Amino acid sequence: MKIGLFIPCYIDQFYPAVGVASLELLEKLGCEVSFPLNQTCCGQPMANSGFEAMSKGCDKNFVKNFKGFDYIVAPSGSCVLHIKEHLHDEDDPKAADVIRSRVYELTEFLIDVLKIEKLNASFPFKVGLHTSCHGQRGLHLASMSELVAPAFSKPGALLNMVKGIELTRPKRVDECCGFGGTFCVFEEAVSVKMGKDRIDEHQDNDVQYITGVDTSCLMHLEGILRRQNSPIKTIHIAEILNSQL
Amino acid sequence: MSARESILASIMANQPVSQDLPQIDLRAVINYDNVLHQFKTVLESIGGKTMEINGWDAIQQMMQADTKEGKQMVNGIAELGAIDANLATQKAAELASVQRAYLKGGIAVAENGSIWVDEAAMVNRLLPFIAEHLVLVIEEKNIVATMHHAYQQVASFDSGFGMFLAGPSKTADIEQSLVIGAHGARSLLVCIIP
Amino acid sequence: MSSQAKFTHAEAAEQFIADEPRTDWHDDTLWFVREKRDKAANSLPEWEQLRQWASDIKYHVLSNMHQYLEAFEQKAIANGIQVHWAKDAKEHNDIVYKIIKDNQVQRIVKSKSMLTEECHLNEFLGEQGVEIVDTDLGERIVQFRKEAPSHIVLPAIHLKKQDVSETFHEHLGTEKGNHDPQYLTEAARGHLRDKFVASELAITGVNFAVAETGGFVVCTNEGNADMGAHAAKIHIACMGFEKLIPRAEHLGVFLRLLARSATGQPITTYSSHFSKPRAGQQMHIVIVDNGRSRQLGREEFRNSLKCIRCAACFNTCPVYRRSGGHSYHTAVAGPIGSILNPNLDMEANKDLPFASTLCGSCSNVCPVKINIHEQLYLWRQTITKEGLAPKAKSIAMWGMSEVLAHPAIYRLAGKMGRWVVKHLPFLTNNGLNPWFKQREMPQAPKESFRDWYLNNKQK
């Protein structure tokens, strides 16, 4: 099973530890992982801003890098969803189709493909789970509070395998944090207010960490937390699942 | 081209390829062990009151009490006596002082506490709205589980007007605070005969 | 048909949020409605099936609209209803005005109709010297204040009881400082009852029009549509053509969904089925297009015409709850408004599809399963293709796409002090950096993941 590790651009540049944790975790679980060296970005920032047409170059580059893998795994629900829904390549349409069907968000891959039932991880802290929208409502990583359907959570199931963790949920269990890609600057006021409100609910639970499957949401929450001089830290789920504290 | 023709032409040009109607399979729809209980519970939760009675006597006594207290009461139920022949054509100004109206309801719906009231049973279309208080009499055998079942039985729209009525008039337009008695009846009492 | 909105959603939202306690109150109040909706939905095991039926019925109608409209008209006329057709808002307003003039009536009441808001009927009639009294309590409140409704189901949800109290003190002479909703509602009841009793003409909206019966259904909790329609000698019902459904039995599906989605009630207090005028009454229906047939032709957006105006998408929208209805500068606000209004005027409403994080909650609560958040994404593409995106944004996007399409340039840029800090659009650093206003920037690490990988894994 050959796995291509897809590390989204802002993780590559700002949060390399998330990439390291993802890679180590997959290797620990017996996967053969490689990181195609010429990858950049999924193209979502342009597409979500209405410039889908400009993301063609990214698409081509993505296909070039990830063609031929059995699975493509990334520690980001949002970027994976974008690839799944929007990756096209006029020169190699078939390769793009195959990639779209083989790209997985990390927790989805662990639960659905590797069928993980236990983990050798420990993280003795009180952790609030932020449910990121694209992973949840787009990739169905967790049940959605709007629907009349049985409850489940793939990230939640994995976190519950971690020793010592005390997992909490905010009162509004799956409300958006307000990051929203370019929304976070073009609608700065609403974006920050949404983020503050998420943080308040985690604070009510006395959490030490806020975790989630999307570094973008966490980066936004972290920016607000640091401005508030809050002791609460953000941490990507891969880092917890790979933790041996 | 008239507006009608141009709208229809534009629609014709733009409507997609026809897709069939879905089959509404009533086996997929909720049922209740006890529709009477469900009906009463829901109606009371939305501000209505219910009373199980054995016959018309109980209603007649209520009417007599109204009369005794000098309340302007209107009867729209043939079983309870003659219906005022002028009622059907009375205008709003004449009906505005009605304090309580007694009308007969048709099909009642357990899932939402609503009752079908047909124009014929209203005597005057305005009456169930303009009366300060409303009493509806329904028969227990007419309670069905859901709206799907209700529409199977409310087959006739020939009379020109009818409604599903669920509880007293209400509003929450000021700060989402529920206030009973917006423009229509301030109370609804549903009397259920076996 | 294009114009410039006075302000953008983002600008108005920033003003709204400046009063944070009030924003919190607005957010909590609407979230409470969302929670009531969840409870109501969960009371029916078949909820998701119901949504699917409703969506499929609506699509069936959209795909047979021509036939159903003709059938509806024929039956309505046979029932004694006069049917009018209006291509746009102006024709709609002219038709209503002509009926008013021909019958020489002065006392007019109107219950809630988002279509008449869309057509700006009140303003138009006001210019002709005709005064309309809005009779829905929330609409009456905003009418007194010369404001627009901020929510299609809860028109005065942006106001607190203190605001209403002041307005009623000024217009209805209620006690100054008495904020009790019960007291204030009672005052409105008295005031509007006089208007109902005296009214000569009543205007209502239409929730559903039934092709099979030639009739239509109007839903209210207050009873104001009925008080008007049954008291007045003329009743005008205004509807967009997409209100049609095939048969009365389909009302079973829609009435089960509507109130549960809107307020969490099992059904509205009054679900009134009008099919014939009462003896001596005139009944009119005005069927309006106003861009709807154009939307019907847009494959990507036609499903927006399934909307039954329940406002569940408003109540669940984290952006709407924190920016208020007026920030959308249109008659229908919220997520559904953001996919309907660009069809009416793309230039004036080009900001609206961007007033969303694309979180997708709107699509999940929609009782007719409109893919609202996907249409928001698609409108963004359409607006950009039409050349309506701000120039600076286009240039920034182009620059970024060039860098990200070329790995070598991307890496070079990354090495040059984490290029992304400055150029990723959500971290854009030109002028006043909106990210930094209330958030710290991410801390740039010593090496990128790729560098680490090369150093540690590929030695």
How do the domains of chain C map onto residue ranges? 44-290, 393-456
Q: CA-CA distance, B155 to C76, in Å (whole number)?
A: 17
Assess whether pLDDT exceeds 70 at residue C420. Answer: no
Burial class (CB in 10 A: 0-12, 13-18, 19+), C284: buried
Residues 190-209 of A with CB under 8 A from C: 190-195, 197
Percentage of chain A with pLDDT > 70? 100
Q: How far is CA A199 from CA C29, C134, C252, C308, C330, in A?
A: 19, 42, 42, 35, 32
Q: CA-CA distance, B162 to C306, in Å (whole number)?
A: 25
Chain A residues lying within 8 Å of C387, measured CB to CB: none
Assess whether pLDDT exceeds 80 at residue C459. Answer: no
Smallest CA–CA separation between C233 and chain B, in Å? Answer: 10
CB pair distance less than 8 Å for B18 and C184: no
Which residue in C64, C210, C255 is closest to B147 by CB distance? Answer: C255
Report, as an integer, the average pLDDT of B42-48: 98
Smallest CA–CA separation between C334 and chain B, in Å? Answer: 18
Q: What is the pLDDT of residue C432?
A: 56
Assess whether pLDDT exceeds 70 at residue C418. Answer: no
Note whether A220 contacts C: Cβ–Cβ < 8 A: yes
Q: What is the pLDDT of residue C427?
A: 53
Q: What is the pLDDT of residue C148?
A: 96
Note whether A173 contacts C: Cβ–Cβ < 8 A: no
Smallest CA–CA separation between C136 and chain B, in Å? Answer: 9
Distance of CA B170 to the CA centre of its chain: 14
Q: What is the pLDDT of residue C429?
A: 47
Q: What is the pLDDT of residue C5?
A: 72
Candidates 3.30.43.10, 3.20.20.70, 3.90.230.10, 3.40.50.10420; CATH matching C44-290 = 3.40.50.10420
Which residue in A58, A137, A189 is closest to C364 by CB distance? Answer: A137
Give the Cβ contact number of residue C242 at 10 Å.
Answer: 23
The predicted complex's ipTM stands at 0.97
Q: Decide if C410 contacts C418 (C-beta within 8 A).
A: no
Which residue in A23, A46, A226 is closest to C440 by CB distance? Answer: A226
Smallest CA–CA separation between C353 and chain A, in Å? Answer: 10
Report, as an integer, the average pLDDT of A86-108: 96
Q: What is the pLDDT of residue C1?
A: 42
Q: CA-CA distance, C437 to C377, in Å (whole number)?
A: 27
Size of interface A-C (CB pairs under 8 A): 247
In a domain, B19, yes or no: no
Q: Do chains B and A touch (3 or more CB pairs under 8 A)?
A: no
Assess whether pLDDT exceeds 60 at residue C431. Answer: no
Chain A residues lying within 8 Å of C443, measured CB to CB: 14
Assess whether pLDDT exceeds 70 at residue C22. Answer: yes
Chain C residues lying within 8 Å of B165, measured CB to CB: 269-270
Nearest to B102 by CA among B40, B187, B171: B187
pLDDT in tens, C55-96: 999 999 999 999 999 999 999 999 999 999 999 999 999 999
In a domain, B15, yes or no: no
pLDDT in tens, C212-235: 999 999 999 999 999 999 999 999
pLDDT in tens, A29-72: 999 999 999 999 999 988 999 999 888 999 999 999 999 999 99
Instruction: Give the best residue of A49, A136, A137 to mutate against chain C (max C CB count within 10 A).
Output: A49
Q: What is the pLDDT of residue C419?
A: 56
Nearest to C322 by CA among C24, C37, C34, C31: C24
CB pair distance less than 8 Å for C272 and B172: no
Smallest CA–CA separation between B2 and chain C, in Å? Answer: 9
Q: CA-CA distance, A23 to A6, in Å (whole number)?
A: 10
Smallest CA–CA separation between C311 and chain A, in Å? Answer: 14
Both tokens assigned to B192: 């259920």
CB pair distance less than 8 Å for C137 and B174: yes
pLDDT band at C390 (very low <50, low <70, confident <90, very high): confident
Measured N-to-C along each axis, helices C161-172 and C181-198 cross at an angle, to the nearest 10 degrees, of: 40
pLDDT band at C329 (very low <50, low <70, confident <90, very high): very high
Chain A residues lying within 8 Å of C448, measured CB to CB: 12-13, 16
Q: Decide if C413 contacts C389 (C-beta within 8 A).
A: no
Which residue carries 């009881």 as its tokens? C161
CB pair distance less than 8 Å for C161 and B46: no
Distance of CA A113 to the CA centre of its chain: 17
Q: Decide if C376 contacts C338 (C-beta within 8 A).
A: yes
Chain C residues lying within 8 Å of B170, measured CB to CB: 221-222, 269
Chain C residues lying within 8 Å of B14, measured CB to CB: 293-294, 296-297
Q: What is the pLDDT of residue C358?
A: 97
Domain that holds residue B74: 33-193
CB pair distance less than 8 Å for C401 and A58: yes
Query: Which amino acid is located at A234 in the chain?
Result: T
Assess whether pLDDT exceeds 70 at residue B156. Answer: no
Q: Decide if C223 contacts B134 (C-beta within 8 A).
A: no
Query: Which amino acid is located at A204 in the chain?
Result: D
Measured N-to-C along each axis, helices C65-78 and B3-14 cross at an angle, to the nearest 10 degrees, of: 150
Chains in contact with A, where contact means 3 or more Cβ–Cβ distances below 8 Å, are: C
Q: What is the pLDDT of residue C9?
A: 97
Chain B residues lying within 8 Å of C85, measured CB to CB: 2-4, 7
Q: What is the pLDDT of residue C129?
A: 96
Assess whether pLDDT exceeds 50 at residue C168. Answer: yes
Smallest CA–CA separation between B21 and chain C, in Å? Answer: 6
Q: What is the pLDDT of residue B150?
A: 97
Which residue in A61, A190, A197 is closest to C323 by CB distance? Answer: A190
Q: Decide if A197 contacts A220 (C-beta within 8 A).
A: no
Which residue in C14, C319, C425 is closest to A45 by CB distance? Answer: C425
pLDDT band at B154 (very low <50, low <70, confident <90, very high): confident
CB pair distance less than 8 Å for C318 and A52: no
Chains in contact with B, where contact means 3 or more Cβ–Cβ distances below 8 Å, are: C
Q: What is the pLDDT of residue B181?
A: 94
CB pair distance less than 8 Å for B146 and C252: yes
Smallest CA–CA separation between C351 and chain A, in Å? Answer: 10
Q: How many CA atoms lie within 13 A of A1 on its CB side?
A: 13
CB pair distance less than 8 Å for C66 and B183: no
Percentage of chain C with pLDDT > 70? 95
Chain A residues lying within 8 Å of C319, measured CB to CB: 187, 190, 194
Q: CA-CA distance, A138 to A103, in Å (whole number)?
A: 13
Q: What is the pLDDT of residue C398?
A: 84
Helices marked H in C263-359 — which ranges? 292-297, 312-316, 318-321, 334-344
Q: What is the pLDDT of residue C413?
A: 76
Chains in contact with C, where contact means 3 or more Cβ–Cβ distances below 8 Å, are: A, B
Q: CA-CA distance, C54 to C250, in Å (whole number)?
A: 8
Assess whether pLDDT exceeds 60 at residue C421. Answer: no
Considering only alpha carbons, which residue of chain C is nearest residue A13? C448
- The CATH number assigned to the domain holding B181 equals 3.40.50.10420
In a domain, B23, yes or no: no
Considering only alpha carbons, which residue of chain A is nearest residue C358? A180
Q: What is the pLDDT of residue C433?
A: 78
Q: What is the pLDDT of residue C434?
A: 84
Chain C residues lying within 8 Å of B126, measured CB to CB: 226-227, 230-231
Q: What is the pLDDT of residue B157?
A: 67
Neighbour order of strands in the sheet with C132-134: C82-86, C282-288, C234-240, C201-204, C108-110, C132-134
Helices marked H in C63-150 — which ranges? 65-78, 89-102, 114-118, 121-127, 137-144
CB pair distance less than 8 Å for B169 and C267: no
Chain B residues lying within 8 Å of C157, measured CB to CB: 176
Chain C residues lying within 8 Å of A179, measured CB to CB: 357, 426
In a domain, B44, yes or no: yes
Q: How far is CA C435 from CA A233, A237, B19, C378, C427, in A?
A: 19, 24, 47, 26, 6
How many structural domains are present in chain B? 1
pLDDT in tens, B107-125: 999 999 999 999 999 999 9
